[in-house]
Chains A and B, each alone.
Chain A
C-alpha cells in the first residue's frame, strides 16, 4: 500500500487549521514574547533570519546534510517485541533518537540553530541545560562550527550529571554552575537570558526546547519535526498504516512536539505527553505542570506553570534532570486545551522501573527522561489490543544516568 493511500485509510482530516503560531507568536492564548525591551530586537532579528533560512533550499540542504553525515539521521524505527511481550497488549515501537550523535534528539535543534547563528554572523553561543544533553549538543555544534560557547547549568544538575559536565568541557565549552533558586533548569534559563541581554549583538542564545519567547517555540518545533516526519514515513512503509498512539516525555516539550507535530492532522492517531510525577503530586515534589499548574507567564511565554497562590514559581523535583522544570512549551499547552494531545504523569519509581525493564528486555539503556515515556507506554499497551501499535519517542540514551541510578539503587539497598 502506498503511504498516501494509507493516510486516507486512516481518515486524516484535510480541513484547514490555523497557521500556528500567529504573527505575534501565539498558539491560541499561549505563547508571546514576554521579555525585556533589550531582547526584542534580537527576537525580531532571529525570527527574520529563521524564516529566511527555512525557505532557503541551500540552508535546508546543509541542515539535512549535517544531520545525516554528522548526527546519523534518519534514526531507526525499532519494533520492541520483547518489551511489548513484557507489557502484554499492543505492540511498542521505538523511534531511536537515542542513537543520534551525542545521545539524544537535542543535537538536531543545536545543529539547526548553530547553522542559523553562523548565517547571522554571531560568534558566540550560549545555552541552558538540565540533564546536560542540550549543553553537550550545543558544545558539540560550537566545536564543529567554530563558536565560542558558554553553558549555564543549575548546580544541582552539575552534581547529578557530572559526566555531561566533563563532556562539555572536553568539547571546549565553559560551564557556569547556577546557584540561584532551585539550582535546576529554570534557574539556568534565567541566567542564560541575563547573559543574552548583556551580549545580544555577538551572541546567539541556543535555547534547547520548544519554549521561551517567540520565535523559539516555532523554530525548535520546525527543526525537531524531522523526528515525526521520519517516524510517520517509516511506520507507513513497514506497516502500511499509521500507529494508533504516540507517546513522548515532556519537559519543555521539544521531543514531544517534534514527534507529534507531523501527526496533528492524523486525527485517529492518539497522542500522549508524559510529565514527571516526581515523588508525589504535592507542590515542589514533581514537575507535572498540567496536573498541578495553572496558566502563567514565565521566561518569555504564557503557558502552564507551577506556581503558588501568590504567583511565585514553584520549584520542581524529578529523578530526571531534563524533565525537572516548572513550565511547559506553549504549543503543547494549546493542544492540551484543544484536547488533541492528552497528558499524564509518571513518577520517579515507575520511571526507574521502566529504565530497568527496557535495559533487560531489549538491551537498550534509555535516558531517565525517556524512561517516563517507556513507563507510560507499558501502562497504555495493557489497555490496547495486540494488533494495535504504540510509537514511543526514545528521546535519549541512558549512559549519562547510570551513575545516578546506581547511587539511587544503592540508597534503596538494591544492589544489582
Chain B
C-alpha cells in the first residue's frame, strides 16, 4: 500500500478563520465532457489556491440534483467514471496539479464498493480529503462515520434551512473538513435568495465550529458569491460552473470570476 500523503489534506486541516483566505469550492462533474477536460479544470483550480474541489461522480438517480447537474451526470455516466476508476485516475495526476479533493456522490456508490474498501483505496491515493454525500443522513451515517474517521477521510455534514438549532449543533460537532450549509430548499441550481435567517444560521454555525462554514446550492453569480463571503467562510459553486463544463474557455472565464469574488471578499474582511 502506498503511504498516505498528507499534503492533499493540508488546506483542509490548516484553514484558519480570519487568517486563511475565504474558502472557494468549485464543483465539477468527473468526465463531463471527458476526463481530460476534468483534469484541465482541476489544474486551473489548484493554481488558484481553492480550498477544495468537490468532484462529482455521476449516479443514475441523483435525487438531490436539479436539471443542470442531472444532465451532466447523464453525459458522463460511463464505466470509467465509477468510484474505483476515478480513484485510480486521480492517482495518476501529479500532486501539484491537484487541489484537495472531496468526492461528491450518492451513498449507493460507496455502499456498493464497501465503505471500508473505498476508504482504504482513497487513503492509498493520498489525494482524497473527504466525501460529500447528500443522501447519507446524520442518523444513517452513525454506522459509517467511524470507518471514514479511521482512514482520515472527512465526512462533511449538511445543515439546511429546515434543520433546527439543536440538531444543527450535533451535525456540526460530527462534521469534518468543512460544514455544508444548503442555502435553499430544493435541488441544486435552483434560484437562491440570501435571507436574513440564512445569515443568522451561518453566524450561529460559525460560533460552534472552527471548520469553515460554506454555503452552496444555487450560487449563480460572482456578486452573490461575494455577498455570501461577507458572512460565511466559504462558498460552493455547482450548477453555475457545470453549465459551462462543455466549453473550456467559458468555464475558465466563469471560474476566474468567482476567484476574483473570493479575492475581493478576502481583502474586505
Residues of A within 8 A of B (CB): 24, 32-42, 180-181, 186-187, 190, 193-194, 197-201, 296-300, 302, 305, 307, 309-313
Contact = CB atoms under 8 A, between A and B. Distances in A.
B138 A37 contact: yes
Between A186, A201, A298, A311, the greatest number of chain B beta carbons within 10 A of the residue's beta carbon is seen for A311
Contacts of B79: 310
B108 A198 contact: no
Interface in B133-174: 134-140, 158-164, 167, 171
Given A194-B64, A296-B108, A313-B61, 11 more contacts: A36-B63, A36-B158, A37-B158, A38-B182, A198-B190, A297-B107, A298-B61, A305-B108, A307-B108, A311-B108, A312-B60
B194 interface: no
B137 A35 contact: yes
Contacts of A313: 60-61, 108
B16 interface: no
A9 to B, nearest CB: 43
Interface residues of B, number: 41
A307 B83 CA distance: 14
A37 B136 CA distance: 9
Contact of B187 (A180, A194, A307): A194
Given A34-B140, A42-B162, A311-B113, A197 B108 contact: no
B109 interface: yes
B124 interface: no
B77 A312 contact: yes
Contacts of A24: 139-140
B91 interface: no
Contacts of B139: 24, 32-33, 40
A327 to B, nearest CB: 10
B210 interface: no
A120 B231 CA distance: 35
Nearest to B106: A297
Interface of B: 59-64, 66, 70, 77, 79, 82-84, 106-109, 111-113, 134-140, 158-164, 167, 171, 182, 185-187, 190
A198 B77 contact: no
Contact of A36 (B108, B112, B160): B160
Contacts of B164: 41
Contact of B185 (A180, A190, A198): A198
Given A41-B162, A296-B112, A311-B111, A34 B190 contact: no
Contact of A310 (B83, B158, B162): B83
B157 to A, nearest CB: 8
B107 to A, nearest CB: 5
A190 B61 contact: yes
10 contacts: A35-B63, A35-B135, A42-B162, A190-B61, A194-B64, A197-B64, A198-B186, A297-B106, A297-B107, A297-B135
Contacts of A312: 59-60, 77, 109
A324 to B, nearest CB: 15
A33 B113 CA distance: 20
A40 B107 contact: no
Nearest to A193: B63
Contacts of A33: 137, 139-140
A193 B63 CA distance: 7
A213 B257 CA distance: 40
Contacts of A39: 162
B160 to A, nearest CB: 4
Nearest to B81: A310
B60 A197 contact: no
A180 B107 CA distance: 20
A194 B186 contact: yes
A199 B185 CA distance: 8
Between B135, B160, B182, the greatest number of chain A beta carbons within 10 A of the residue's beta carbon is seen for B135
Contact of A197 (B84, B107, B138, B187): B187
B138 A299 contact: no
B165 to A, nearest CB: 12
Contact of B162 (A32, A180, A200): A200
Nearest to B71: A180
Given A41-B163, A296-B112, A297-B111, A34 B137 contact: yes
B1 to A, nearest CB: 23
Contacts of A181: 60-61
A310 B137 contact: no
